[in-house]
């Protein structure tokens, strides 16, 4: 390709990775940061095709809206001349198609491990009304992540479509009526007939076909991969699938039934949700009681002690159970069956008032004065070292006047978040006491960095830093509550190691869900989802401020767990280049944290006298 060695956006194109009908994918490096990424560039002949360009933009929007760890991350979208491009995380591994060409078929436990991750990702997409419409082995990428083999990344949402067209007509109307879109070997019957009423059940069918091939090594209608597309279209609509056990007798009857139901011709005969399909598949895997755990979260009063005993596998399976049960927590969050922690009533009322242009300070004060817990904290903050003036504030109305609306907004969210870290549950308090101090410190340093860099909204940076780990105590509380209502300890998540393993696996998505339920700004949501690495899409964003602040605070020793100083220093050096900071600027940014730490130590000393 003639683009090798050239620069597209902020990226220098290094080498070609692959190509498809719409475009090419290249390995690339950020021109200043040196970070590697994948750049997907539309074909030159399609550059002026408005529909294909719209699909590129739709892919970026769809992926960012879903925000699921099993979906490839898109960090930027742009225009190079008249050709659209996407910047994505660079994946190292192989596609499921390459794996199947090499091995022919997979053992059932491996196939289920992959299928369950795909189902998680697509269920999250379906929650937002997004249908992938082109699920196939080429679009399932297998990598190693955190020591876990065959970690799935679902690719290519380029022809994804929103079901709820009235909410996003610009994203929905990307195909001409009657146009067949997809890959013939894996298309649902309704896709083959260009049915405009196509919905999420089409993806269930496609995943069923993919799983059929993983388990048997062949496609379900006795056709060769090289058959003409029309023969596949006809088979999907008219031909009954060959039973799986006819091809591979050792496949269980239950698994065969699950796959055949997923690929039923009539959408009404299939599983009616991706999670229902996943639940049927999960019962085949090494932790057969995941469905019971899910029941504990959805309707805990119906799970008795005898059922609870079967939830926990033997100790040797604890790590696997952690992964599986963490998935159940996320499924419960995505499906809306798990109640998320709410804010205090006074906080909700005040935040609602702050969003109304006609509110008054008196109205805010009247609401806060009725809450004996929140009101003293507002008064105390107004008289703290950060806001202290010449006179001491003696009532809430004065305190609000000194704080200002932005600082008051942040404080109210902080009060709500602190309750989660200071849970009534002793185990949660012990596990996350120091984590709250860490979160406050990250917020303070993120705010200081925003000041040093002249960021327009320093309070937003503070909130993003303060809440970046909010999902940890919430996830822990969910797991402990499920254990409590089940009537007896569950070994799979009872040990501290397994418990914290599950927390680490899903706290970002849980925190994201809490922040979204609290109607917090998008920048806060993104910081929760991605504060462990820099985003090159918006270099001066709060996400990046929090990433650098997090590393600086860890280097300062304010973190409850051991850290790799080498990794922390690498993040700091990358942040210094990104924000163009020298050591003196970093020292200024850390000054507020050290002043806060000294103030807290003084308060503790005085209270102990």
Beta-carbon-side half-sphere exposure of residue 223 (alpha carbons within 13 Å): 22
Which pLDDT score is estimated for 542?
84
Q: Give 557-564 contacts, CB < 8 A, sequence gap 24+.
A: 558/434, 558/437, 558/438, 558/441, 559/434, 559/435, 559/438, 560/431, 560/432, 560/433, 560/434, 560/435, 560/438
- Same domain for 140 and 125? yes
Judge if 132 and 252 occupy the same domain: yes
Check whether residue 73 and residue 100 sit in a common domain. no
What is the structure's pLDDT at 122?
92
Predicted local distance difference test score (pLDDT) of residue 573: 92
Using alpha carbons, list the distances in angstroms from residue 114 to 263, 282, 352.
Answer: 18, 11, 44
Element (H, E) at 43: none
pLDDT of residue 202: 95
Residue 501 appears among annotated catalytic residues: no
Q: Which domain holds residue 239?
A: 93-285
Q: Is the residue at 292 inside a domain? A: no
The Cβ of residue 64 has, within 10 Å, a number of other Cβ atoms equal to 16
Say if 249 falls within a structural domain.
yes
219, 259: one domain: yes
As beta bridge partners, residue 76 has 87
Q: What is the pLDDT of residue 43?
A: 80
Catalytic one among 127, 134, 469, 501? 134
Same structural domain for residues 74 and 189?
A: no
Q: CATH no. for residue 27?
A: 3.30.200.20
Res 33: pLDDT:
77
**In this predicted model, what pLDDT tens digit does every residue of 537-574 receive, in sequence order?**
566 778 889 999 999 999 998 888 788 899 899 999 99
**63 with 101, same domain?**
no
**Cβ-based neighbour number of residue 389 at 10 Å:** 9
What six digits make up the tokens of 314? 């033997």
Q: Are residues 145 and 269 in the same domain?
A: yes
Q: Is 604 among the domain residues?
A: no
State whether the Cα torsion 559-562-563-565 is positive or negative: positive
Q: Which residues contact 456 (CB under 8 A, 6 or more apart)?
A: none
Q: Which residue, 60, 88, 116, sits at the end of a domain? A: 88
pLDDT, one tens digit per residue, over 99-126 is 999 999 998 988 998 999 999 889 888 8
The structural domain count of the chain equals 2
**Same domain flag for 64 and 112:** no
Residue 474 domain-assigned? no
Residues 14 and 162 in one domain: no
Final residue belonging to a domain, choices 88, 109, 133: 88
Residue 172 counted as domain residue = yes
Query: Given this model, what pLDDT does residue 197 score?
Result: 76
Task: Kindly state whether residue 359 falls inside one of the protein's structural domains.
Answer: no
Beta bridge partners of 25: 18, 40
Q: Which residues of the chain have pLDDT under 50?
A: 164-180, 286-319, 486-493
* 142 shares its domain with 229: yes
Alpha-helical runs (H) found in 132-226: 169-172, 189-192, 201-216
Same domain, 131 and 58: no
pLDDT at 491: 47
d(CA 234, CA 221): 10
Boundary residue ending a domain (263, 285, 307): 285
Residue 332 inside a domain? The answer is no
pLDDT at 496: 60
Residue 564 forms part of a structural domain:
no
CATH number at residue 123: 1.10.510.10
Residue 99 sits in the same domain as residue 79: no
């Amino acid at each position: 390709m003639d683009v090798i060695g050239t620069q597209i956006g902020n990226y220098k194109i290094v080498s070609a990775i692959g190509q498809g009908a719409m475009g090419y994918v290249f390995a690339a490096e950020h021109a200043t940061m040196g970070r590697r990424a994948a750049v997907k560039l539309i074909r030159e002949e399609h550059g002026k095709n408005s529909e294909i360009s719209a699909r590129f933009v739709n892919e970026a929007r769809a992926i960012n809206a879903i925000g699921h760890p099993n979906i490839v991350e898109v960090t930027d979208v742009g225009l190079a001349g008249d050709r659209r491009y996407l910047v994505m995380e660079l994946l190292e591994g192989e596609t499921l198609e390459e794996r199947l060409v090499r091995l022919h078929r997979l053992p059932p436990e491996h196939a289920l491990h992959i299928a369950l991750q795909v189902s998680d990702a697509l269920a999250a997409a379906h929650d937002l009304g997004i249908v992938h419409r082109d699920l196939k082995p080429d679009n399932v990428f297998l990598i190693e992540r955190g020591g876990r083999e065959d970690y799935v990344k679902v690719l290519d949402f380029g022809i994804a479509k929103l079901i709820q067209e009235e909410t996003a007509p610009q994203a929905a109307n990307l195909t001409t009526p009657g146009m067949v879109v997809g890959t013939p070997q894996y298309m649902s019957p309704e896709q083959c007939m260009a049915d405009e009423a196509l919905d999420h059940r089409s993806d269930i069918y496609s995943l069923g076909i993919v799983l059929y091939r993983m388990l048997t090594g062949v496609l379900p209608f006795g056709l060769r991969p090289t058959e003409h597309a029309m023969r596949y279209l006809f088979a999907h609509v008219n031909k009954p699938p060959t039973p799986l056990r006819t091809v591979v007798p050792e496949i269980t009857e239950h698994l065969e039934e699950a796959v055949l139901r997923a690929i039923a011709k009539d959408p009404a005969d299939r599983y009616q949700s991706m999670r229902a399909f996943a639940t049927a598949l999960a019962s085949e895997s090494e932790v057969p009681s995941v469905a019971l755990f899910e029941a504990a979260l959805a309707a805990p009063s119906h799970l008795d002690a005898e059922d609870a005993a079967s939830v926990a596998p033997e100790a040797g399976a604890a790590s696997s159970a952690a992964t599986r049960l963490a998935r159940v927590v996320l499924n419960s969050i995505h499906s809306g069956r798990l109640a998320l922690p709410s804010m205090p009533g006074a906080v909700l009322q005040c935040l609602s008032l702050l969003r109304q242009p006609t509110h008054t300070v008196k109205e805010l004060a009247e609401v806060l004065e009725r809450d004996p817990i929140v009101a003293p904290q507002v008064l105390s903050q107004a008289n703290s070292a950060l806001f202290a003036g010449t006179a001491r504030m003696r009532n809430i109305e004065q305190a609000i006047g000194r704080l200002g609306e932005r600082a008051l907004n942040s404080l109210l969210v902080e009060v709500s978040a602190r309750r989660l870290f200071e849970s009534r549950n002793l185990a949660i308090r012990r596990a996350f006491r120091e984590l709250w101090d860490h979160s406050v410190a990250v917020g303070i340093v993120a705010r200081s960095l925003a000041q040093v860099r002249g960021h327009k909204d320093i309070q937003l940076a503070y909130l993003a830093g303060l809440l970046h780990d909010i999902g940890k105590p919430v996830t822990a509380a969910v797991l402990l509550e499920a254990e409590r209502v089940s009537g007896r300890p569950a070994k799979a998540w009872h040990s501290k190691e397994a418990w914290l393993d599950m927390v680490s696996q899903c706290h970002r998505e849980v925190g994201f869900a809490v922040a979204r339920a609290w109607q917090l700004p998008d920048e806060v949501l993104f910081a929760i989802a991605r504060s462990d690495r820099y985003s090159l899409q918006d270099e001066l964003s709060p996400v990046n401020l929090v990433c650098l602040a997090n590393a600086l605070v860890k280097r300062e020793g304010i973190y409850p767990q051991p850290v790799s100083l080498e990794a922390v220093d690498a993040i700091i050096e990358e942040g210094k280049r990104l924000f163009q900071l020298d050591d003196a600027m970093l020292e200024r940014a850390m000054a507020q944290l050290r002043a806060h730490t000294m103030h807290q130590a003084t308060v503790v000393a005085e209270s102990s006298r």
